[in-house]
Structure formats: structure tokens, C-alpha cells
Amino acid sequence: MRLLVTGGAGFIGSHFVRSLLADDDPRTVTVLDLLTYAGNRANLASVADDPRLTFVHGDIRDRPLVDSLLAEHDAVVHFAAESHVDRSIASGTDFVSTNVLGTQTLLESALHHGIDRFVHISTDEVYGSIESGSWTEEQPLAPNSPYSASKAGSDLLALAYHRTHGLDVRITRCSNNYGPYQHPEKVVPLFTTRLLDGGRVPLYGDGKNSRDWLHVDDHCRAVRLVLDAGRAGEIYHIGGGTELTNRELTERLLQACGRTWDSVDHVTDRPGHDLRYSVDWSKARDELGYRPHHDLAPGLAETVDWYRTHRDWWQETAR
Ligand SMILES: NC(=O)c1ccc[n+]([C@@H]2O[C@H](COP(=O)([O-])OP(=O)(O)OC[C@H]3O[C@@H](n4cnc5c(N)ncnc54)[C@H](O)[C@@H]3O)[C@@H](O)[C@H]2O)c1
């Protein structure tokens, strides 16, 4: 199988590519990535010489380029997106352009070229916020940020290409990922790198916003299960199993970095900040045998250690 991985130079996409190639998987992989501020070729340095990997610097919105690539591939795993909520609040333009139009360009081209499978990577944020309990895959979408609205738009387009045209589309919606190689704009690396540098960290509002934390390695293993054994037209939730308030997460990161609450600034809450996300991932467990392998405590400790020992990577990335 010839796999096109969009956004494969970003945080999650690069982990997916590195782990696939590390497993002696017979598939060839083409990464299509625009290398925005969030994409980094260094994320693929450890597999750059692998003959199964080809890197293409380009835009998922470029239909002739996408057509030329999809003519040579059997399956797509689509990670590419504008992914940071705060940036979408500052301006939603790139979010709609890449997340909605970019996804539509890929879907249209996939249909045209008879692509066998299209895995669309989405997010639990498309559902809005839930006070208690967990969403199943049947939950109606109610996104609150321009980011989550653009992801919801892309999900609906993906499902429409399945229902209207019979394209084999599979959607994953996961919770908050953490792990190495995450851009320092996101909360875990932002707090970790600032605390390691002796700096201060901003905690939104009362810190009671709650998230389920998923190790990027568990997420990527689940994406492979969906690619290999999922069903066409289906949505699969992927969770990590440990829910923390932002306050609890901050406490853990302070401890891991040997710092105290004196380093925390309480800042005005993010507009439209969802209080809580929680996905019920029993469908992925029961159908695909998915379960997370990484417990949060050691996973977070290893992640902090990675940033501690990869200062060059994040200092270069944050520039
Ligand atoms: N990080 C999380 O916790 C999380 C949670 C749920 C869902 N997701 C989803 O997972 C996917 C990957 O997220 P991430 O955290 O790795 O994001 P990221 O921002 O780290 O990486 C995105 C990648 O997409 C590339 N890209 C952006 N626009 C492009 C375009 N027009 N054409 C080609 N490439 C382009 C960037 O260069 C970058 O390499 C996204 O679809 C995101 O919505 C992420």
C-alpha cells in the first residue's frame, strides 16, 4: 500500500510516520506538508534516509499537486491542519482555508483517483463542551471556536463524500495529545519549556477547564488500527483515559520541572473556552481492540525529560 500522509512534519503526523517506519511496515509513505510555522523537517530526521519515505513540500489546497500525488497512492491519512485554538481566535482565515477547503480538495481528488481509504484526523472539540459524562460518536456537532468549527466543517464534508459518492472515509476524533515534538505554543510544551527556562506560565481563568490526556503514541497506534481494520463511513473516538483540570496539569508540570505556584500568572480566560471534553472510546476498544498503553504519570515525566534534553529543537521551533 502506498500511503499519502498530509501534515506529516507536524507533531502527530511525524510521530505516525516515525512509528510506522520503525515497525518495518512494508508500506511506502509520502509526506505532503506545507511546512508552516508548525511543520518541521527535523521531526522526520530519524527516518529521512529510509527508502520507503518521500517528502513533498506542498499545500493540500494545490489541486494539481494533490492530483499528481494521489494518482500514485492507495490511501490517505490526513493530519494537515491549522491546529491552534488561540490562533484561530486571532484570525480564522487560514483555518477555514486549510481545514475546510484543503480537506475538500483532498476528498475530491481522492474520489477522482479511486483512493481505497481516506482516514481523516479530527478532534473531540467538534462537540463543544460537556459538563458530565462522555460523548458517543452519535453526538451532534456544536463547535465553539473557529478552529473546532473548521474541523467540524471538514468532518461533515468527509462524511458527505462517503454518503454521496461512496468514498471509503474513516474519521477519528481524539482528545488532547501530549508527547515529544509538539510545538511550544501548546500547553504542555509551552509550560514545560518556560518552566525549564526559569520563566512564568499563564493559566487561563480559574484553571478548572478539564481535558482527557492522550499520549501521541497511543493516538497514532489507534489511527493505524482505524486505517487497517476500521469501517468505511465510521467515526472512532480515541481517548487517553486520564482527565485533569488545567490546574492539576499545571501542578504536575510544576513538580516535574522543580518549580512552584509562584511561577504561575492567572490570566483572563480564553473567549469561548470549552469547560470540558470527554469522549467515550468504547467503540474503538470493542471493534478495533484499542486501549491506551501509556499512563499519564510516566508519559508526562518522559515528555518533560524529552524537552529537557531537546532544547535545540524547541528553541529553533519557537523562533
Ligand atoms: N494536537 C492535539 O492535541 C490534537 C487533538 C485533536 C486533534 N488534532 C488534529 O490532529 C491533526 C494534527 O495535529 P498536530 O497537533 O500534529 O498539528 P500541528 O500543527 O503540529 O501540525 C500540522 C501540520 O500540518 C501542516 N500543514 C498546515 N497547513 C497545511 C497545508 N495547507 N498543506 C499541507 N500541510 C499543511 C503543517 O506544516 C504541520 O506540519 C490536526 O488535524 C488536528 O486538528 C490534534
Question: Tens digit of pLDDT for each residue in 43-99?
Answer: 999 999 999 999 999 999 999 999 999 999 999 999 999 999 999 999 999 999 999
pLDDT the model gives residue 291: 98
Cα distance between residue 91 and residue 84, in whole Å: 11
Sign of the Cα torsion 129, 192, 33, 26 reads: negative
- 248 among known catalytic residues: no
Q: For residue 110, what pLDDT band results from cuts at 50, 70 and 90? A: very high
**pLDDT digits 0-9 by tens, 227-258:** 999 999 999 999 999 999 999 999 999 999 99
Give which of 92, 219, 104, 191 is closest to 149, Cα–Cα: 92
The answer on pLDDT for 197 being more than 70 is yes
Cell numbers at residue 261, please?
Answer: 505556584
Question: Which strands, in side-by-side order, build the sheet including 210-215?
Answer: 176-178, 210-215, 242-245
- Whether residue 36 has its Cβ less than 6 Å from ligand 1: yes
Buried b (16+ CB within 10 A) or exposed e, 32-63: bbbebebbbeebbeebeeeebbebeebbbbee
Please, what is the Cα angle at 33 between 104 and 31, to 5 degrees? 100
Residue tagged active-site, from 82, 125, 155, 212: 125
Cα distance between residue 312 and residue 319, in whole Å: 11
**Average pLDDT estimate for 184-209:** 96
pLDDT the model gives residue 25: 87
- Whether residue 98 has its Cβ less than 6 Å from ligand 1: yes
- Whether residue 179 has its Cβ less than 6 Å from ligand 1: no
CATH superfamily of this structure's domain 2-183+214-242+275-295:
NAD(P)-binding Rossmann-like Domain (3.40.50.720)
Cell numbers at residue 99, please?
Answer: 481545514
- 147 among known catalytic residues: yes
- β-bridge partners, 48: none
Structure-derived torsion over alpha carbons of residues 223, 75, 229, 169, reported in degrees to the nearest 10: 80
Task: Tell me how far the alpha carbon of residue 52 lies from the centroid of ligand 1, in angstroms.
Answer: 22
- 108 among known catalytic residues: no
- Whether residue 213 has its Cβ less than 6 Å from ligand 1: no
Ligand 1, pocket-test mutation among 14, 79, 122, 147, most atoms within 8 A of CB:
79
Nearest CA to ligand 1 atom 28: 81
- Whether residue 9 has its Cβ less than 6 Å from ligand 1: yes
Class of residue 263 by CB neighbours under 10 A (exposed 0-12, middle 13-18, buried 19+): middle
How many residues are recorded in the chain?
A: 319
Q: At what angle do helices 246-256 and 296-309 cross, to 10 degrees?
A: 50
pLDDT the model gives residue 208: 94
pLDDT the model gives residue 319: 63
- β-bridge partners, 78: 6, 120
Q: Mean of the per-residue pLDDT values for the chain?
A: 97
Asked if 161 and 167 count as a contact pair (C-beta separation under 8 A), the reply is yes
Asked if 45 and 37 count as a contact pair (C-beta separation under 8 A), the reply is no
pLDDT the model gives residue 39: 97
Please, what is the Cα angle at 183 between 304 and 312, to 5 degrees? 65
Strand (E) or helix (H) holding 46: none
Cα distance between residue 97 and residue 94, in whole Å: 5
Parse the chain into domains and list their residue ranges: 2-183+214-242+275-295
**pLDDT digits 0-9 by tens, 1-60:** 999 999 999 999 999 999 999 998 899 999 999 999 999 999 999 999 999 999 999 999
**pLDDT digits 0-9 by tens, 260-308:** 999 999 999 889 889 999 999 999 999 999 999 999 999 999 999 999 9
